[in-house]
Chains A and B, each alone.
Chain A
């Protein structure tokens, strides 16, 4: 079994050899480590992308907009991801962002996972029928459980999920009420002395 350290170093070096700058290669190294750690096929997708890239051109998306439509070539997942990560503070306002024809979109995913941590919001990534909820770069919840390569997605959409409760106020108050059964009702003496403070607030 390869260690994550080997995976990161080899992915970084391979990315440099594939034509990216050292700074971008460092990002890819970290990303493939993240994918493999979460059990997603990072090495598989990266290897195939770099093989295909030798013979094919991809479009480098430098500035991300609400709708990103390819001109001639499919979008490079790495440059699209770098731009997304770098620009995430301003993209947050757009709520939902779409990419048409994103190549090897699993390589785009870890940039979003890291972005989720930066903006403090969960992100929902839809790659055609596959969905991924990216939880602050701590975990990924998905219906994609195949160890396979996704060559391209016709439509990738990223939605910033607002921080809100996943339960109703009624459900919360029921649970809170139950938790109150661990509290002690204070009599007057306890009210005066049990907190440990003085008898006046400003002595």
Chain B
């Protein structure tokens, strides 16, 4: 049986994309799989009794070495902020390519804590900073110093000891450009080095609490139990800065979504599903419910989504237990079709993620296809005709063409780059200044404008001629030709309309990172947890790939 890939006009709507969940294809999981044979070392741990100082961790295999350099500094209470406008943090980190010399560490000590206003070199690969979750951090130190393990229930409500507020890579602030390292096989998957940084930072947070507790009470202090460590991740606060990424990288977005869709298609095409595979699917599903019931958020929007997800999952389990015969043909296809008919978007996408779990062979072959050589698709094929372009737009943007941009509510917002932080922001164009400096992210509006101009242009005219008169639309001409080749490259929604929920864009990206427990703090930023439940560095070699469902929480 041949299954078609899902329709981009439905799948690429923001409400659906904002319902995506982590899966076997997620970057933090594929990172752990790739690096499971690498040797982990704590190369330097020079902290004072309060936990301030320098530490270096490395992952190495044969001649390749990546080193995380950590700088932990004292921070006054009044200086601690998760907002991107902060200028100081509890700790700052960089991932160094190779083994840093003493001079490198001294150079980086004066630059890394400054973050965006510091200067890095081509030897540094990623940069980040993090703040303590004070209530969790202090609670853990206090208990360990008294010889007791911390309260697991309390910790599960937070989920981490530190949360990062940004992780930078790919040439920002002087960091190494992607081209310098792109041929290294171990980093073929997207964001591998960002994942590595976060994973190693997680270990630093455990070593730091153990260290401080030991200084506090050398006779009684104990180390944080491995089981508890395993169930702590790294938090992350993410705002709008991340949202335009998925618009600015259309071929990359396509490759992420396409890999997931190809996996789903292949799984739905399996005629005889093995008993052990369906059992693994069901086991992951049942275990994962713990992750949902321990999902804490004050956001009413997310609370409703969680409630609906739980209801739908219970409905699904009841259906499964009543109606599913393990020997029926095309079992996963039947499950999918039933889900589409009976469940909400959040649960459908949850089940799609779980369906990939039993299939290492399918997932592993797709992971290497999730990067993109974007420059290859940058040139506009100017020998094509106006008629070609018009047809592409009619075929690939049919939902977009229905939007009436003369209505105020469809044209309400504009995206801009903040002068203070050089980061993307969103504002109401009718109430704020700066609309004239709008970023080229209103793709839906500009595609519609392009379509209107094409409609009154000569069909046989070539694109070079069209552009000579319409270079103001060049950015969307380029995109339309990309969309012709890459069906999942465009969000099929209006991202400047009043009804936009920006966190849908963030959730899409974060689900591919492998984040769990999305906790929206407003419609524009959220907190998440990464690596919660993941194996510790010394357990990497033999870790269970379904670790994400084995959380104690």
Contacts and interface: CB of A to CB of B under 8 A. Distances in A.
B181 interface: no
A131 interface: no
Interface stretch (A80-88, A138-146, A156-164): A80-88
A89 B383 CA distance: 7
B506 to A, nearest CB: 21
Contacts of B170: 5
Given A22-B440, A24-B471, A3 B122 contact: yes
B382 A87 contact: yes
A89 B175 contact: no
B310 interface: no
A82 B474 CA distance: 11
Interface string B447-480: 0000000000000000110011101111111100
Please report whether the interface of chain A is mostly helix, strand, loop or mixed according to DSSP.
helix
B471 A23 contact: yes
Interface in A85-100: 85-90
B375 interface: yes
Interface string B473-493: 111111000000000000000
Contacts of B378: 26, 30
Contacts of B399: none
A83 B468 contact: yes
B177 interface: yes
A114 interface: yes
Interface residues of B, number: 33
B472 A1 contact: no
A1 B122 contact: yes
B217 interface: no
Nearest to A88: B382
The size bracket of the interface on A is 20 to 34
B8 interface: no
Contacts of A151: none
Contact of B176 (A2, A3, A26): A3
Contacts of A21: 471-475
Contact of B478 (A6, A26, A82): A26
Contact of B464 (A4, A5, A86): A86
A62 interface: yes
Contacts of A90: 464
Looking at A13, A27, A88, which has the most chain B CB atoms within 10 Å of its CB?
Answer: A27
A136 B173 CA distance: 31
A165 to B, nearest CB: 28
A13 B464 CA distance: 24
B464 A23 contact: no
Contacts of B176: 3
Interface string A20-53: 0111101100100000000000000000000000
A62 B469 CA distance: 8
Given A21-B473, A22-B474, A85-B382, 20 more contacts: A3-B171, A3-B172, A3-B174, A4-B171, A6-B171, A21-B471, A23-B440, A23-B473, A23-B476, A24-B471, A26-B475, A62-B468, A62-B469, A82-B471, A86-B380, A86-B464, A86-B467, A89-B382, A89-B383, A114-B379
14 contacts: A1-B174, A3-B122, A4-B177, A6-B172, A21-B474, A23-B440, A23-B473, A23-B475, A27-B474, A62-B469, A82-B467, A82-B471, A83-B468, A89-B464
